[in-house]
Structure 1
Amino acid sequence: MKLNLGCGNRKLDGYLNVDNSPHCEPDLLLDLERLPWPFETASAQEILLIHVLEHLGQTPATYLGIIKELYRVSAPGAVVRITVPHPRHDDFVTDPTHVRPITVAGLEMFSKVKNREWQAKGWATTPLALMLDVDFEIVSANAQPEEPWLGRLRRREITSQDLSFAARSYWNVIRATDIVLRAVK
């Protein structure tokens, strides 16, 4: 099974298109914050959350429950593809339905390897993967630079290190981030 969670009007062939809005006419009408989801354990080979996760889990308990459900329904080795607006971009802050910033570092907290590494180093990072018994590895994370930064990078006026520094220092440098996770089971 392949899930397109929070599909909106972007329905995809070969996926179960899920949304909470009847206006979108999804294959399955479902509020993703109501847990558990009606999917079998370890049944999804691929899960898409394209501009969705930032809309879910305003409270920590709800967000962590969603992460647990993502893990539960993921088959061993399942791929979870996430696209989110960058938290320092106007696209994130201007939408009143965005309830939480999603970052690569925040998603690393759901990796048991990372949790154990941080514990061995004595870091004070919350070992969420160990606490929740979930395990996602980050396969890739790619920024979508905004203009004029993208053009400057392509013309080699700046380096990728310059872009990274700008993204940490200024607003509206990165529009969105694409993150791919793999369920480790």
Structure 2
Amino acid sequence: MKQEPRLKLNIGCGFDKKPGWVNVDQFAACAPDQILDIEEVPWPWPNNSADEVLLSHVLEHVGTSTKNYLDIIKEIWRVCCNGARVEIRLPHPRHDYFLIDPTHVRAIHPRSFEHFSQRRNREWQEVGSPATPLGLYLDIDFDVEGIQQVLAPKWAERVRNGEISQTEIRDKMEDMNNVVMEFTVILKAVKLQG
């Protein structure tokens, strides 16, 4: 039986369209391949149809209610096949770039995606953590494969010049605003084979 090619979804593409991807946006002005308001679920793609999903500076604009936001996360998981790569780029919630855009409705911390990992959820249960095990509650599962942070230019320059160590910059990131400008989280969809 011949397997259909899997989709590569560039959700909320804006004007950054990618060749070979299905470029999706709610605004016709950016001429996407498909017009879709991702807050309206279910999405039009079948279960397990995507190998790759990109959401670049999208999630901070959607999900004014927790239910709506979680519905979007569930849809991402639903359309992903097992092992699909999901790349999510976001402004850091402690940077002015997040604060100055009036269309940003949701602050998202890079580590918040751990809540959708059933492995992490079970680890939390074992140690009695009060963290919300959303992977288990929603019956979805994403492994967090990596988190990359982009430092604000002045901090990046200080690191390059050797004026501040990686340890010191980590401390600054926890204590100060405007250190990290944006971040990228790489997720892998985990689904039972069968």
What TM-score results when the alignment is normalised by the length of structure 1? 0.98
1:52 equivalent among 58, 66, 79 = 58
| 2:33 matches 1:27 | yes
Alignment of 1:1-185 (within 5 A): 1-185=7-191
In 2, distance between residues paired with 1:167 and 1:15?
A: 34
In 2, distance between residues paired with 1:146 and 1:125?
A: 29
**Percent of residue pairs bearing the same amino acid type:** 46
Root-mean-square deviation over aligned CA pairs: 0.7
Structure 1 residues without counterparts, runs of 5 or longer: none
Q: Deviations over 1:46-83 (max 9, x none)?
A: 00000111111110000000010000000100000011
In 2, distance between residues paired with 1:165 and 1:82?
A: 24
In 1, distance between residues paired with 2:171 and 2:121?
A: 26
Q: Deviations over 1:11-35 (max 9, x none)?
A: 1101000000010110000000000
Range moving further from structure 2, 160-169 or 106-115:
160-169
In 2, distance between residues paired with 1:155 and 1:12?
A: 35
In 1, distance between residues paired with 2:137 and 2:8?
A: 27
What TM-score results when the alignment is normalised by the length of structure 2? 0.94
Aligned residue-pair number = 185
What's the offset of the Cα at 1:109?
0.2
Range moving further from structure 2, 43-52 or 153-162:
153-162
In 2, distance between residues paired with 1:59 and 1:160?
A: 36
What's the offset of the Cα at 1:170?
1.2
In 1, distance between residues paired with 2:118 and 2:104?
A: 28
2:4 alignment partner in structure 1 = none
Q: Deviations over 1:72-122 (max 9, x none)?
A: 000100000011000010100111111111222211000000000001101
What is the DSSP-based 3-state SS (H/G/I as helix, E as strand, rest coil) of the residue aligned with 1:148?
A: helix
Range moving further from structure 2, 156-165 or 134-143:
156-165
What is the DSSP-based 3-state SS (H/G/I as helix, E as strand, rest coil) of the residue aligned with 2:60?
A: helix
